[in-house]
Amino acid sequence: MAGGYRYHCGECDHRTAWLTESQGEEQHLQHYLSRHSGILPGGWKESAPPRTGGGAGGCLGVLGGVFLILVLASTCEAGAAVPPAGGSSVSLTVEHRLDLLR
């Protein structure tokens, strides 16, 4: 749907497509001039119902963000628990060898 308004003719079954208010009014007037000349434009204007289901994208975005934060937090925590390469295990090996040399 391109717009939020649709105009209905008061003389026949004609109606415009869903357009902006100004575009719909212009088409409505053109219809009256071509099909019902000499008659003042009548009929009614229909407003599009509000769109529903648009909130799901927001919830999905929030859930995706929370999931990403949890993955990053678990990765950072797991990385902190792993000793750095060449850490304390190397120093224990060096101390053990020094004791053997004495």
* Residue 74: band (very low, low, confident or very high) from pLDDT cuts 50, 70, 90: confident
Q: Which helix (H) or strand (E) holds 74?
A: helix 55-81
pLDDT, tens digit, for every residue of 91-100? 555 565 655 6
pLDDT, tens digit, for every residue of 24-39?
999 999 999 999 999 9
Residue 43: count of CB within 10 angstroms of its CB: 17
**Residue 28 burial (CB < 10 Å; 0-12/13-18/19+)?**
buried
Instruction: Give the list of residues 6+ apart from residue 45 with CB closer than 8 angstroms, or none.
Output: 5, 6, 7, 8, 21, 24, 25
The alpha carbon of residue 32 and the mean position of all alpha carbons in its chain are separated, in whole angstroms, by 40
pTM of the model: 0.49
